[in-house]
């Protein structure tokens, strides 16, 4: 079934794969127990070219994902009383296809929306869903990126000419690493995060700067920690930019050569009152000056912005101001700075600068994704163009998006809904049908988090074990749905079957002829590849068929990057991918390639984002220091901690072994409330209330509280002795979102605390 490192029967067999618990997907090796399915041991895979053997402690817990008791082993159909009954696969495929086709035929395929397509470790299902979506005429989709990154993508488009111009930090080589709204110790974001930030912190010639309201594990290591007021990032960034431009710290020669509209930017910053803005940011001005000068004077600087500013007030504006800092200091397109990377597959739709709107709420669709906070209102309305059906895959919006109560209401209002997942989730419990998928370790799987530079990596993981009985890999589910919906016929595929039997070169030649002669077949490409190329793939690797198409596309569009990595045609790259269970470097670039990737014709950066200028001007009057008397605390709803993971881990037993942590608040606030560590406390927001354990932690600023992410999952039959924690999105509201991108304010939820 899988690769092995064994040389004789006495040696352990280690299977190369990856951890699926965060976007870094460290390479790991797993040893199975005697039953052939339990993950007995997990260790870092030194042969993985990106992670080089590194892991954090979370990878050791992967068996809770793979072998949790909540795995589904049969398609489930909801009955009239709300319970679920098992049905066979033929019935499930027939009824799901019929249910979706009925909505399409009565109201149009655009009233069916698609959510998900993959979590932190599995993006192939999203690719394979393309055929099903085309067969149904679906037009709207979304995923977690639309509650995190779409504002940043849009800013990239404004600065560099296209949203596909995604910047990545060269942390390995930088002299000054800045993490903004990010705790890389627990949320990672770069390969070998803990090793890299420790190396920077321990090197007297390099500087680690952490900007975070909390004294995080990363902040404890940092040379400089700016403990910004929650929600005060825009004032901090505005003050830093003003210091750069007024204290002769900008790289003016670089800007003259590389950027447009510096005069307009300086005019916009001319009225910034540094003392007042520092106060609104909650940081002494001399600390801001020191950090700003350190960035400007460093040989190079790379900045990683993340959810701390993207899920907070002024989210999209924050992204613009952050990027101006590395641009004004000449740190774009250079070693140790920020660069534009290649991508092996698309993470989101690209393009779409905001002119496309949702049909009911007219929210901007950025990078092809509906803003998550707007989706319930696209359903809960009598508008004739409302969304009427949902196809959710490898995602759990009812639990992981803002305002769980509103999402449950929206799902109940749909005419038809289906969820594809490995376990019964909170979203599954609202759906008409739940189809059980094989796990990420039971089929070939991969992600498109290919965000590195100058080398970029892709890891196609072979399966470790056979699919759990009763489950199907998503490519097979979509193949069956495409066939049931009449997307194509056996006759359409016959020439490709014949060519596949003759090898990849014959297949490539036939493929372009067949698709050229029958362009409609091209709409269902992933399923066509799965049906025709899948059967000649090595055993267990059928799901990798679509990767062949991506390899051809990548080499055709990025010939020089691929050649520098050693690949001159798509079949050569594909061969390397399927025979390298620890992953490959598929792309290699020199630093100046970043300027070639700029999409403005003059290859210059546009410094001023006109749509955000008015919002910037409002900062002069807005005051982050003002408290809400009814809700005096600022809650970060969803903080990564050692004992948290994404909700892929659905096993209550892992909470017994790694107990939940609770609401963090500082000693000063705990004393004022009269609560002790471990006490129960009620958290109340305008949306809801819940009771959590108290965890007193002086890593918090007074007035700032936080709840962990990924907890509070529903296990109706769990041991009541196990504390499952609280679900943060019972407290968040869809109304709290960025005015431009619609990204939620999860890190800035106004709350009050009451003793229980």
Residues that bind ligand SF4 (CB under 6 A): 19, 21-22, 24-26, 55-56, 58-59, 188
What's the angle, vertex CA 371, arms to CA 394 and CA 122, rounded to 5?
20
CB atoms within 10 A of CB 539: 9
- Nearest Cα neighbor of 447 from 173, 182, 141, 121 is 121
Give the list of residues 6+ apart from residue 655 with CB closer than 8 angstroms, or none.
711, 722, 723, 724, 725
- How far apart are CB 22 and ligand SF4 at their closest, in Å? 3
- How far apart are CB 715 and ligand SF4 at their closest, in Å? 22
Nearer of residues 190 and 389 to ligand SF4, judged by Cβ: 190
Nearer of residues 59 and 533 to ligand SF4, judged by Cβ: 59
- How far apart are CB 56 and ligand SF4 at their closest, in Å? 3
Nearer of residues 43 and 752 to ligand SF4, judged by Cβ: 43
Q: How far apart, in whole angstroms, are the C-alpha atoms of residue 293 and residue 328?
A: 12
- Nearest Cα neighbor of 492 from 505, 474, 472, 510 is 510
CB atoms within 10 A of CB 45: 28
Nearer of residues 128 and 344 to ligand SF4, judged by Cβ: 344
Nearer of residues 18 and 619 to ligand SF4, judged by Cβ: 18
Instruction: State both tokens at 421.
Output: 């997942």
Nearer of residues 44 and 232 to ligand SF4, judged by Cβ: 44
Instruction: State both tokens at 7.
Output: 């040389």
Instruction: State both tokens at 410.
Output: 């929206």
- Nearest Cα neighbor of 139 from 346, 388, 343 is 388
- How far apart are CB 470 and ligand SF4 at their closest, in Å? 28
Tell me phi and psi for residue 456, to 5 degrees: -130, 150
Nearer of residues 537 and 649 to ligand SF4, judged by Cβ: 649
Nearer of residues 19 and 138 to ligand SF4, judged by Cβ: 19
CB atoms within 10 A of CB 717: 7
- How far apart are CB 18 and ligand SF4 at their closest, in Å? 7
- How far apart are CB 58 and ligand SF4 at their closest, in Å? 4
Asked if 714 and 598 touch (Cβ cutoff 8 Å), the reply is no
CA dist list (Å): 651 to 226, 423, 684, 710, 713:
38, 10, 28, 12, 9
- How far apart are CB 353 and ligand SF4 at their closest, in Å? 32
- How far apart are CB 711 and ligand SF4 at their closest, in Å? 16
Residue-by-residue DSSP string for 166-229: -EEE-TTT-SEEEEES--HHHH--STTHHHHHHHHHH-TT-EEEEE-SS--HHHHH-SEEE-PP
Which spans in 49-123 are helix H? 63-66, 89-107
Nearer of residues 19 and 585 to ligand SF4, judged by Cβ: 19
CA dist list (Å): 533 to 21, 125, 134, 504:
30, 17, 20, 9
Tell me phi and psi for residue 86, to 5 degrees: -75, 140
Strands 140-142 and 259-260 come out as unpaired
Burial of 556 (0-12, 13-18, 19+ CB in 10 A): exposed
Nearer of residues 47 and 262 to ligand SF4, judged by Cβ: 47
Nearer of residues 188 and 701 to ligand SF4, judged by Cβ: 188
Instruction: State both tokens at 696.
Output: 């007193």
**What sign does the CA torsion over 247, 248, 249, 251 have?**
positive
What's the angle, vertex CA 567, arms to CA 444 and CA 44, rounded to 5?
45
- How far apart are CB 120 and ligand SF4 at their closest, in Å? 8
What's the angle, vertex CA 744, arms to CA 652 and CA 20, rounded to 5?
40
Nearer of residues 28 and 472 to ligand SF4, judged by Cβ: 28
Nearer of residues 51 and 373 to ligand SF4, judged by Cβ: 51
Nearer of residues 42 and 551 to ligand SF4, judged by Cβ: 42
Instruction: State both tokens at 552.
Output: 């051809």
Nearer of residues 58 and 399 to ligand SF4, judged by Cβ: 58
- How far apart are CB 645 and ligand SF4 at their closest, in Å? 7
- How far apart are CB 689 and ligand SF4 at their closest, in Å? 31
Of all helices (H) and strands (E), which one includes residue 707?
strand 704-708
**To which residue do tokens 């394979």 refer?**
128
- Nearest Cα neighbor of 24 from 594, 607, 450, 322 is 450
- Nearest Cα neighbor of 648 from 120, 145, 231, 270 is 120
Tell me phi and psi for residue 430, to 5 degrees: -110, 0
CA dist list (Å): 632 to 479, 704, 753:
53, 9, 9
Give the list of residues 6+ apart from residue 649 with CB closer than 8 angstroms, or none.
21, 61, 64, 65, 68, 710
Nearer of residues 26 and 670 to ligand SF4, judged by Cβ: 26
- How far apart are CB 529 and ligand SF4 at their closest, in Å? 28
Nearer of residues 47 and 224 to ligand SF4, judged by Cβ: 47
- How far apart are CB 512 and ligand SF4 at their closest, in Å? 37
Peptide bond into 454 cis (omega under 30): yes
- How far apart are CB 195 and ligand SF4 at their closest, in Å? 11
Nearer of residues 22 and 291 to ligand SF4, judged by Cβ: 22
Q: How far apart, in whole angstroms, are the C-alpha atoms of residue 627 and residue 623?
A: 9
- How far apart are CB 215 and ligand SF4 at their closest, in Å? 21
Give the list of residues 6+ apart from residue 566 with CB closer than 8 angstroms, or none.
576
């Amino acid at each position: 079934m899988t690769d092995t490192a064994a040389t004789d029967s006495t040696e352990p067999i280690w299977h190369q794969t990856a951890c699926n618990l965060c976007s870094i997907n460290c390479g790991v090796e797993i040893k199975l127990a005697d039953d052939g399915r339990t993950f007995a041991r997990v260790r870092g895979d030194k042969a993985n070219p990106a992670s080089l053997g590194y892991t954090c402690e979370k990878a050791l817990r992967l068996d809770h994902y793979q072998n949790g008791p909540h795995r589904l082993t049969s398609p489930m159909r909801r009955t009239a009383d709300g319970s679920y009954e098992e049905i066979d696969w033929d019935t499930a495929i027939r009824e799901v296809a019929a249910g979706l086709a009925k909505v399409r035929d009565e109201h149009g395929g655009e009233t069916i929306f698609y959510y998900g397509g993959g979590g932190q470790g599995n993006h192939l299902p999203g690719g394979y869903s393309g055929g099903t979506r085309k067969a149904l005429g679906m037009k709207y989709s979304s995923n977690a990126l639309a509650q995190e990154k779409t504002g940043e993508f849009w800013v990239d488009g404004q600065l560099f000419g296209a949203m596909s111009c995604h910047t990545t930090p060269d942390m390995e080589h930088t002299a000054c690493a800045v993490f903004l709204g990010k705790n890389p110790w627990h949320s990672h974001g770069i390969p070998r995060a803990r090793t890299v930030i420790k190396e920077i912190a321990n090197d007297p010639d390099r500087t680690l700067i952490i900007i975070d309201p909390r004294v995080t594990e990363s902040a404890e290591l940092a040379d400089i920690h700016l403990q910004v007021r929650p929600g005060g990032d825009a004032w901090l960034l505005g003050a830093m930019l003003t210091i750069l431009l007024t204290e002769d710290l900008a790289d003016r020669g670089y800007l003259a050569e590389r950027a447009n509209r510096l005069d307009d930017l300086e005019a916009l910053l001319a009225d910034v009152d540094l003392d007042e803005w520092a106060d609104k940011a909650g940081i002494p001005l001399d600390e801001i000056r020191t950090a700003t000068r350190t960035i400007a004077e460093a040989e190079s600087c790379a900045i990683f912005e993340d959810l701390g500013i993207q899920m907070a007030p002024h989210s999209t504006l924050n992204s613009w101001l952050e990027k101006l800092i590395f641009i004004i200091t000449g740190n774009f397109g250079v070693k140790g700075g920020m660069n534009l990377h290649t991508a092996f597959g698309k993470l989101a739709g690209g393009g779409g600068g905001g002119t496309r709107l949702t049909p009911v709420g007219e929210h901007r669709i950025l990078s092809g994704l509906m803003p998550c906070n707007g989706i319930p209102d696209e359903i809960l309305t009598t508008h004739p163009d409302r969304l009427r059906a949902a196809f959710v895959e490898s995602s759990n919006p009812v639990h992981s998006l803002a305002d769980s109560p509103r999402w449950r209401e929206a799902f109940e209002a749909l005419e038809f809904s289906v969820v594809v997942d490995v376990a019964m989730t909170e979203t599954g419990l609202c759906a008409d049908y739940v189809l059980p998928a094989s796990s990420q370790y039971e089929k070939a799987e991969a992600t498109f988090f290919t965000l590195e530079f100058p080398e970029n990596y892709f890891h196609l993981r072979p399966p470790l074990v056979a699919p759990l009985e009763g489950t199907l890999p998503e490519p097979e589910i979509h193949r069956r749905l495409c066939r049931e919906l009449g997307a194509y016929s056996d006759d359409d595929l016959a020439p490709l079957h014949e060519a596949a039997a003759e090898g990849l070169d014959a297949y490539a030649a036939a493929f372009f002829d067949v698709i050229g002669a029958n362009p409609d077949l091209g709409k269902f490409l992933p399923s066509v590849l799965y049906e025709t190329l899948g059967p000649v793939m090595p055993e267990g690797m059928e799901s990798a068929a679509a990767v062949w198409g991506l390899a051809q596309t990548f080499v055709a569009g990025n010939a020089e990057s691929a050649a520098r990595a050693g690949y001159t045609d798509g079949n050569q790259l594909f061969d390397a991918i399927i025979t390298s269970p620890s992953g490959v470097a598929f792309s290699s670039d020199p630093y100046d390639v970043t300027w070639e990737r700029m999409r403005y014709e003059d290859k210059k950066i546009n410094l001023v984002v006109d749509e955000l200028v008015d919002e910037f001007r409002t900062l002069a009057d807005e005051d982050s220091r003002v408290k809400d008397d009814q809700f005096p605390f600022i809650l970060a709803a969803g903080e990564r901690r050692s004992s948290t993971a994404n909700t892929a881990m659905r096993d209550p037993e892992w909470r017994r072994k790694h107990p939940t942590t609770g609401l963090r608040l500082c000693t000063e606030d705990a004393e004022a409330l009269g609560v002790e560590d471990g006490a129960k406390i009620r958290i109340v927001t305008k949306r809801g209330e819940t009771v959590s354990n108290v965890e007193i932690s002086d890593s918090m600023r007074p007035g700032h509280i936080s709840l962990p992410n990924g907890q509070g999952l529903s296990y109706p039959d769990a041991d009541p002795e196990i504390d499952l924690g609280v679900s943060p999105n019972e407290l968040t509201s869809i109304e709290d979102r960025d005015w431009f991108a619609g990204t939620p304010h999860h890190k800035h939820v106004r709350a009050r605390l009451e003793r229980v």
